[in-house]
Amino acid sequence: MVDAAGIIGSGSPGDDGLSPVEHAEQLRSSAPKLAALLTRSGPVELARQYAEADTEALAAERTFKGWVSRANRAVLGTATVSALLMAVALLADRLDGLARTALIVLALAGVAAGGIASMSLFRVKEGRLLEDWMTARARAETKRLSYFNYIVNSSVQPLDLQLELLKLEYFRRYQLDLQLAYYKTRRSDHRKSAERTLSISAGAVLVAAIASGAAGVLGAQNSEWAALGSLAVFGAALQAFAASRESINQDRRNAERYDNTAQALQGLRERLDEVRLRIAAGFPSVLGEYVAAVQDQLSLEHRQWLEGAENMRAAVARLEKALSSGASQSDTASNEEGAARKD
């Protein structure tokens, strides 16, 4: 048991990539049977397919999140322009000749922001960017699970308990420990991102509340102060931006899900010595049962992650609705400004 754990060693940077040939070179003298197993065509091909699918999935994720985040920012820009147009309409008399120039500049900015948002959402939907990401990630994770299942379930005659222990330690280092560290890190990342989103939402609520109250109190004294109400519109837009950000990143949901998976894997990790002892005592079937328990947890988490894609689709739909709403508000504000100048 001690020899097997020492031969395989503990985790190090770069373990996330499946490199059976490289691992075999490192183990050729200390664990020749495991090295021979790793260089079979099965694990080598599965590792190649995983690397290919993982690279594709990472690229697809960056593409989807890049375009949908750009759309979210552009929708916020469109709503901000709408708020400014409202302010210009209410301050038209004080601005005098600048009102028309401001209107033109803001209208062009609104058109540009709306165009960017429309283009970005078109790329997301028509390019099926979310579906491409989901498909590539599902394929990558399936290949990774298959890789370890192949190694663990490969039989060698006559039965060699030392080899079975080496398989366990190999699985422990390159799958269990690595996935456990990944879920803990991602849990922390999502919690931090959720806090940032909450701060944005809280700031938006503060701005909207103060602006609405100040516009009501001061507007009663001087109608021009009613322009502060445009900040309330901006606050509402900022809240919508934060809500879309949460729907896209799924921060709170993912943080909770990753925490649950990390706790489950940690529980299985704590039973590792029991599995070692049972294998060393001549019960190698425990290895397959233990690996299956870990892989089931990973498969369950991945299925839950795929289910979260529906929330991402809903976020894209809300962005489209917000874009349409922002365009309507811009048109209304422009009409109000024109009417004010005629009066």
Q: What DSSP assignment string belongs to 248-285?
A: HH-HHHHHHHHHHHHHHHHHHHTTHHHHHHHHHTT-TH
Of the pLDDT bands very low, low, confident and very high (cuts 50, 70, 90), residue 336 is: very low
Mean pLDDT over the full length of the chain: 86
The neighbour count for residue 243, using CB atoms within 10 Å, is: 18
Summarize the confidence of residues 12-24 as an average pLDDT: 88
Helices (H) and strands (E) in the chain, counts: 14, 0
Q: How far apart are CA 194 and CA 252, in angstroms?
A: 6
Residue 48 clears pLDDT 70, i.e. is over it: yes
Pick from 275, 293, 291: which is nearest to 283 by CA?
Answer: 275
DSSP 9: -
90: phi > 0 → left, psi -120 to 50 → alpha, else beta; which?
alpha
Of the pLDDT bands very low, low, confident and very high (cuts 50, 70, 90), residue 340 is: very low
| Amino acid in the structure at residue 247 | S
pLDDT for residue 221:
67
155-172: per-residue pLDDT in tens? 877 888 999 999 999 999
Both structure tokens of 185: 């890190």
Of the pLDDT bands very low, low, confident and very high (cuts 50, 70, 90), residue 220 is: low
**In which residue are the tokens 């837009």 written?**
237
Taking only Cα atoms into account, the Rg of the chain, rounded to an integer number of angstroms, comes to: 29
Q: Is 92 exposed, middle or buried (0-12, 13-18, 19+ CB in 10 A)?
A: buried
Least confident of 47-51, 321-325, 328-332: 328-332
Residue 39 clears pLDDT 90, i.e. is over it: yes
Residue 343 clears pLDDT 60, i.e. is over it: no
92-144: per-residue pLDDT in tens? 777 676 777 888 888 899 899 989 999 999 999 899 999 899 999 999 999 99
Residue 13 clears pLDDT 90, i.e. is over it: no
Query: Which domain does 60 fall in, by range?
Result: 2-342
Residue 183 clears pLDDT 90, i.e. is over it: yes
Is 124 in contact with 130 (CB distance < 8 Å)?
yes
**Which residues lie below 8 Å from residue 318, measured CB to CB, with a gap of 6+?**
240, 243, 244, 247
Query: Looking at the 3D structure of the chain, how many domains does it have?
Result: 1
Both structure tokens of 19: 């490199």
Residue 189 clears pLDDT 90, i.e. is over it: yes
Whole-structure pTM value: 0.83
| Amino acid in the structure at residue 83 | A
79-99: per-residue pLDDT in tens? 888 888 888 877 777 767 677
Of the pLDDT bands very low, low, confident and very high (cuts 50, 70, 90), residue 34 is: very high
Q: How far apart are CA 260 and CA 250, in angstroms?
A: 15
Residue 199 clears pLDDT 60, i.e. is over it: yes
